[in-house]
Structure 1
Amino acid sequence: MADVTNFAIALGADGKGHDVDPAKACGEHTQGRFAWVHLVGHSDDTFDWLRDHGDLPETVIYALTAIETRPRTEPIEDGALINMRGLAVEGTEGDKLVSIRCWVEAGRAITVSYRPLDGLDGLVEKMRAGEIKDPGDLVSLLAVVITKRIDPVISDLGDLVDDCETALEPKNAYETRRKIAEARSDAIVYRRFVVPQREALTRLAALEVDWLEDNDRLHLRETADRFARMAEELEAVRERSALIHEQLTDLRSELIETRALWLSIVALVFLPLTFLTGLLGMNVEGIPFAHEPWAFGAVCALCTALGVGVLAWFAKAHWFGR
């Protein structure tokens, strides 16, 4: 599914899912046939459609069509309002994580998303193949799919930080600083939703509802545990990134200090030489040995001796080893 589109799938007598009219699917959910309705959030008539055909509490309609959301689980009457975040389909503009809002109750699930969610196609195929039998199967598999997509991305962030630590050298400072800044920024974005998503899944697994079976609760607890591990990994990425940034700053300061030291040494070596040559180069009478043929060689030898003497003093003072 390249774009977010409306669709509705209901289980038939053969145990498999079939495409049906969304309004019809919402109306028949009380007849024991599980139906899944997915709607486009940014469509202008989504709110009106939910109000006319969804038979939902007003607060649920507003929650399903809200622009800004965070992961949560909220039991309402015999159903539950569930918000989750997953990876966007590659190439999609906007944030890396996509919100999917779910209303789940016995016999029916209504989901709303504003942008394509990576992995939603696979759930649609499972629904059509009859592998999803009830709302519990849908939400638990949705959580599993989201976890499987996000987990490698967060692991890659940890590997990127490892590579940056290995390449922590002055010659790679600029590239390392750019990579570590990106890793730290991504970690902040992911952690913002990973932590509350773990709490939402834990709360969902504890709900006392008939449409959640023991197997569904097991999957939800397992995904919540994986999100807890991912949250710890993201926290480690943030802390290690900050430490690497400090080390890069220290390397840069040391490099600047080293260069300033060498400039100071060169300046101090040439300071007495500049004074001597300036003194002898004055255009006045009385310069000693001005007309002697050996004077230039003597001045050069004296300058060389002064330079060597100053360098020897710096070496004795251990300036070159700093």
Structure 2
Amino acid sequence: MPRSRHGDGTRRTLMARRHPKRKGHAARAKHSHSKPGAPPGAYELPEGGEVTVNAIRYDAAGFEEWSPADATGISDLRRPGKTVWLDVCGLERRTIEALAGSFGLHPLAVEDAVHTHQRAKVESYPGHELIVARMVGLSDGEPTSEQLSVFVGPGFVITIQERAGDPFESVRERIRQGRGLIRGAGADYLAYALLDATVDHYFPLLEELGDRIEEVEEDIATTQSDGNLQRIQHLRRTLITFRRAIWPLRDAVQSLARGEVALFVDDTRVFLRDTLDHLLRIVDLLESYRDMAGGLMDLHLSMVSTKMNQVMQVLTVISTIFIPLTFIAGVYGMNFDPSASPYNMPELGWRLGYPAVMVLMAVIGALLFWFFWRRGWIIGQRPKGGQGD
């Protein structure tokens, strides 16, 4: 049985096995789907899997918090005048069936909750609403995306997560300590608080992404490392993951704020408009970062092209210096016999002919190098007196 609280106290827990977090998400995440031809509302889940259930029941006077050890502890939780929040971490058949039976959840809504490939949306069903959002994060630098399903009905909120770990601890503390309006409001306000915590969790993630973009931009401009292209591609994949999670959620929250769902009263819709404003700011940041990531690719290609042009410039200068030298060497490499005619390279018989040719070649090379240096065409050297000298 739950133990009542009317203030601070030690939480009594009967925790089931904790669902481990996945480490590394380089591979594409796998989501469950209905089999082709399956009837609407059908789903397949393992029985006896790892799942954690936490329950909080509260009103303006106090709260109760406990963790049912199994699915049998889920039934008969609703009380008149109180709001109950069931937080389920993990997908397990007996637990999901107990939730659906105890709270009258529609089969199609349950199917959307357990098939975790859904876009963020709001769906209305008899007796309750289903809000689907996505919680994004970074695990070892890799983007993660987890579906959050929120069932909202008169006097109850049910959250179903794929695994343990969420941004809702601040909401739990507000319930325990009675801060704010949450204990005196209804289930719709609790649903708003959960959505608001999910949205606010995006801000530090986007800030971290912004820092990464600046680091990559600085590295591209200074080091031209071979790994910059991979880092840019990783940033773009991360932004795509975040965009897929955030853009549909904007439309879902907008429908709630506009009053399209009768369960959310006018007082709660005022707060939802604030959440919508946060989402719009996040969308603007996300689009700015997408443009910056696209600019990083252009910058990287420009720096690679500049580096290649510098290499080609060095090779061109070297080749240009050796062109007249090669011409001279080619002329004197012709096999004309001076004894056959006085016009057949008479300087070959001159005792200073070879030193004179070498001095001539050295002078030509030095003059060409000086000319290129004056024009500023030598790598790492600035032109003196402008390009027209």
Q: Residue type of the partner of 2:276?
A: A
1:226 is displaced (CA, Å) by 0.8
1:104 is displaced (CA, Å) by 0.6
- Which residue in the other structure is 2:40 paired with? none
Q: What are the superposed Cα offsets for residues 39-61 of structure 1, whole Å, 9 maximum, x if unpaired?
A: 24432434433444342221122
1:266 is displaced (CA, Å) by 0.7
1:66 is displaced (CA, Å) by 1.5
**Structure 2, unpaired ranges of 5+:** 1-14, 20-50, 339-344
Within 5 Å, which residues of 2 pair with 1:1-322?
3=19, 5-11=52-58, 15-19=62-66, 21=68, 23=72, 25-29=74-78, 31-88=80-137, 91=139, 95-129=143-177, 132-133=182-183, 134-165=186-217, 169=221, 171-172=223-224, 174=226, 177-207=229-259, 212-277=264-329, 280=332, 286=338, 293-311=351-369
Contact residue 10 and residue 25 of structure 1 kept, 8 A: no
Root mean square deviation, CA, Å: 3.5
Contact residue 171 and residue 194 of structure 2 kept, 8 A: yes
Cα gap change, 1:13/1:311 in structure 2, threshold over 3 Å: closer, same or farther? closer
Alignment: residue pair count: 321
1:311 is displaced (CA, Å) by 4.1
Contact residue 123 and residue 141 of structure 1 kept, 8 A: yes
Q: Residue type of the partner of 2:145?
A: L
Contact residue 54 and residue 65 of structure 2 kept, 8 A: no
1:180 is displaced (CA, Å) by 3.8
1:263 is displaced (CA, Å) by 0.5
Cα gap change, 1:312/1:47 in structure 2, threshold over 3 Å: closer, same or farther? same
Q: Which moved more, 1:148-157 or 1:169-178?
A: 169-178
Separation in structure 2 between the aligned mates of residue 259 and residue 117 of structure 1, nearest angstrom = 52
Contact residue 198 and residue 228 of structure 1 kept, 8 A: yes
Q: Residue type of the partner of 1:56?
A: L
Separation in structure 1 between the aligned mates of residue 260 and residue 282 of structure 2, nearest angstrom = 27
Separation in structure 1 between the aligned mates of residue 211 and residue 142 of structure 2, nearest angstrom = 25
Q: Which moved more, 1:97-106 or 1:130-139?
A: 130-139
Q: Which has the higher contact order (CA 8 A, sep 6+)?
A: 1
> SS state of the match for residue 31, structure 1?
coil
Contact residue 170 and residue 251 of structure 1 kept, 8 A: no
1:83 is displaced (CA, Å) by 0.8
Cα gap change, 1:228/1:34 in structure 2, threshold over 3 Å: closer, same or farther? same
1:242 is displaced (CA, Å) by 1.3
1:197 is displaced (CA, Å) by 0.9
Separation in structure 2 between the aligned mates of residue 18 and residue 135 of structure 1, nearest angstrom = 16
Contact residue 136 and residue 242 of structure 2 kept, 8 A: no
Separation in structure 2 between the aligned mates of residue 202 and residue 13 of structure 1, nearest angstrom = 29
Cα gap change, 1:130/1:309 in structure 2, threshold over 3 Å: closer, same or farther? closer
1:302 is displaced (CA, Å) by 1.6
Q: Which moved more, 1:92-101 or 1:294-303?
A: 92-101
Q: Residue type of the partner of 1:6?
A: V
Cα gap change, 1:318/1:91 in structure 2, threshold over 3 Å: closer, same or farther? closer
Q: What are the superposed Cα offsets for residues 10-32 of structure 1, whole Å, 9 maximum, x if unpaired?
A: 23795212226465554342633
Percent identity, please: 23
Q: TM-score, normalised by structure 1?
A: 0.82
Cα gap change, 1:159/1:318 in structure 2, threshold over 3 Å: closer, same or farther? closer
Separation in structure 2 between the aligned mates of residue 13 and residue 280 of structure 1, nearest angstrom = 106
